[in-house]
Structure 1
Amino acid sequence: MANAASGMAVHDECKLKFLELKAKRTYRFIVYKIEEKQKQVIVEKLEGVPKSRIFFIAWSPDTSRVRNKMIYASSKDRFRRELDGIQVELQATDPTEMGLDVIKSRAN
């Protein structure tokens, strides 16, 4: 069972889709989300446009509840360890921290 210290479990599809992205660059992005009812991280959305750099953007708004921030932080760390091959990592608490200008500057 997941808790704030250990983080959520990671669904096998998350790793599978990441490996496809890493090996074949088949997706423009993968959106993962924490599914609290299932107590795991799942794939929420895929877009099929090939790209060459792999970004990991962790979105945790400042307005989130403290408990949710704790679960998110521990789940992010656990989940991030499952994904070998990420080239750029961003932590965003505000939309401006993950804008196109920020992404372009980190991609170079």
Structure 2
Amino acid sequence: MSRSGVAVSDESLTAFNDLKLGKKHKYVIYKINDSKTEIIVDKISSDESYDAFLEALPEDDSRYAVYDFQYEISSTEGKRSKIIFFTWSPETASVRSKMIYASSKDALRRALNGVSTDIQGTDFSDVAFESVLERVSRGAGSH
């Protein structure tokens, strides 16, 4: 339960575990239900395209997302994968939406074990592939 009183649905945790352990999904987008009581799954996809993920984020409303981000540091080290937690809160979202998502984030974030990086996005440049790649590869040497 978060400070805002919003709970995390079982479905939300199942979707995350399917992404993390089962590798069934590429990303999961979460939203707070209309009655503002629970964080639920908004969209699940196995589409490998990062652009498809970005297109699934609403332009004028907040969301949370987890993404199985794959990248290559160098040709000798091969591909790596990190699970990234996104808090998407665009400038155009209502103040109420931004506030409830900000105050409810910890409940979901604490429930998701195995996330390596948190990214806060207020516009699409914050969550662009290159921006995310820079964030995850910066910490790559320390893991």
TM-score where L is the length of structure 2: 0.65
Counterpart in 1 of 2:105?
76
Distance 1:89 1:39, change over 3 A: same
Deviation at 1:72, TM superposition (A): 0.7
Length, aligned pairs only: 106
- Where does the alignment leave 5 or more consecutive residues of structure 2 unmatched? 49-67, 69-80, 138-143
Aligned counterpart, 2:127? 98
Counterparts in 2 of 1:7 and 1:93: CA distance versus 1, 3 Å = farther
Calculate the TM-score normalised by the size of structure 1: 0.83
Shift of 1:38: 6.0
Q: Which has the higher contact order (CA 8 A, sep 6+)?
A: 1
Say what the alpha-carbon RMSD is for the aligned residues: 2.2
- Secondary structure in 1 matching 2:21: helix
Cα offset, 1:21, TM superposition: 1.4
Distance 1:19 1:53 in 2: 14
Change (3 A) 1:69 1:7: farther
Tell whether the 8 Å contact from 1:7 to 1:78 is kept in structure 2 after alignment. no
Over the matched positions of the two proteins, sequence identity in percent amounts to 39
Which amino acid in the other structure matches residue 96 of structure 1? S
Structure 1: gaps (5+ residues): none
Q: Write the distance in 1 (CA, Å) between the matches of 2:85 and 2:131.
A: 13
Asked whether the 8 Å contact 1:7–1:72 carries over to 2, the reply is no
Greater per-residue helix proportion: 1
Provide the rounded CA distance (Å) in 2 between the counterparts of 1:16 and 1:49.
19
Residue 34 of structure 2 corresponds to residue 36 of structure 1:
yes
Max Rg structure: 2
For residues 7-86 of structure 1, the aligned pairs below 5 Å read: 7-37=5-35, 39-48=37-46, 51=68, 52-86=81-115
